[in-house]
Amino acid sequence: MKPSLRAFLAVVVLAAPLALTAPAQAVNTLTMRGADVSSLQRSLDLGARYYNASGAQDDPYDILAAKGVNYLRLRIWNNPISGYNNKAKVLQQARTIKAKGFKLLIDFHYSDTWADPGKQYPPAAWAHHSLSQLQNDVYTYTHDVCTALKAQGTTPDAVQIGNEINVGMLWPAGQVVNNNFAPLASLLKQGYRATKACNSGTQVWIHTANADSNANARWFYDGIRAQGVTWDVTALSYYCMWHGSLANLYNVIADVKSRYGKPVVLAETAYQFTTANADHQGNAIPGTVLCDNIPATWAGQAQQFSWVQNTVRNAGGVGVFYWEPTWYAIRGNGWDPADINGTGNGWDNMAVFNWTGHVNPHVVWTP
């Protein structure tokens, strides 16, 4: 996700019904309590320091584990200019993640840069490939990354075939145009086949940012199902500024769970803890854009995250992932992989660590 390009869609959301937010007896357990830590290795390489809830300097992985996290997500770009989030760096970080006892989710963007609902640019090496060539590309690349991870003892527990692919991936060849899902389906099938050929136990997730409505979610997942696409987990993004109320989120999760008969995970969510900005890069989500009348404070961030977890749990979902909680403002770890040194961080008010690396003491991931 690179949410800055969608910031203009932000809206103020009405307060959520108490039934979805109150800590009533849980009817389901969140077995996947996740965090996307794709920027963390760069931060550590630049000397970032992290402090636990007691104020002591600590390993960021250990801090997240103490907060209840058991699953970590890494995006992978094919050949990013920054040199980060590529295959070599993912292999490096995966070793640390597995050594710390976390499960591992690999998020294939199939791009050299950000892929999200507004853009799905193929990597430069594939830019002029036909659909049939791209099918081979997806299979070969997915299998290569998965088998490299497996060979070093860090087999991924799950992979995403694409990132927020609301209207397809690897545009224009894999874009859904005039309700034609066949090209996209042919690519998704290759990703599934490659993953299972590498390791049959690795889950394949199909991830969209379609938590905004049943209509959009049904359009997409009905479309790929009709083309014979197989997947293991239905994954959604939910940012309350863009995707509506918690009541709406509940309805979408319950619907896709029932309709497709697969576990549902919220692969991305986050909330701001401040109205301020740490650097020269504008915040992707201004602190003044609030949801459920929750303030942009440490306590507010924790409250919203708790409400999201309760909603997912009560709707029958099995997991919630916070997007980039460790990405606080570190000079040189910028927003644009093509200018990682020159750009700032548009997520510094959304991280779970403040601008000095201290963790929000109130935020917890709960089963």
* Mean pLDDT, range 346-364, rounded to an integer: 96
- Please determine, for residue 304, whether its predicted confidence score (pLDDT) is greater than 70: yes
pLDDT in tens, 84-119: 999 999 999 999 999 999 999 999 999 999 999 999
> Percent of the chain, pLDDT > 70?
93
Q: Which residue has the tokens 């853009």?
A: 119
13 phi and psi angles, rounded to 5 deg = -100, 140
User: Residue 27 has what pLDDT?
Assistant: 67
The pTM of this model reads 0.93
Q: Is 324 a catalytic residue?
A: no
- Please determine, for residue 210, whether its predicted confidence score (pLDDT) is greater than 50: yes
- Please determine, for residue 64, whether its predicted confidence score (pLDDT) is greater than 70: yes
How is residue 169 written in tokens? Answer: 């991936």
58 vs 16: which has the higher pLDDT: 58
- Please determine, for residue 252, whether its predicted confidence score (pLDDT) is greater than 80: yes
Q: 227 exposed, middle or buried (CB, 10 Å; 0-12, 13-18, 19+)?
A: middle
pLDDT in tens, 165-192: 999 999 999 999 999 999 999 999 999 9
Q: Is 164 a catalytic residue?
A: yes
Choose the catalytic residue: 107, 157, 164, 348: 164
Using the Cα atoms of residue 280, residue 286, residue 288 and residue 292 in order, give the sign of their dihedral. Answer: negative
8 Å CB contact between 74 and 107: yes
How is residue 110 written in tokens? Answer: 């199939």
User: Residue 278 has what pLDDT?
Assistant: 87
Mean pLDDT of the chain: 92
How is residue 185 written in tokens? Answer: 């389906």
Using the Cα atoms of residue 169, residue 174, residue 177 and residue 183 in order, give the sign of their dihedral. Answer: negative
* Mean pLDDT, range 109-136, rounded to an integer: 98
User: Residue 357 has what pLDDT?
Assistant: 97
Choose the catalytic residue: 116, 268, 292, 348: 268
The CA-to-CA distance between both ends of the chain, in Å, stands at 25
- Please determine, for residue 6, whether its predicted confidence score (pLDDT) is greater than 50: no
> Percent of the chain, pLDDT > 90?
86
User: Residue 22 has what pLDDT?
Assistant: 39
- Please determine, for residue 62, whether its predicted confidence score (pLDDT) is greater than 80: yes
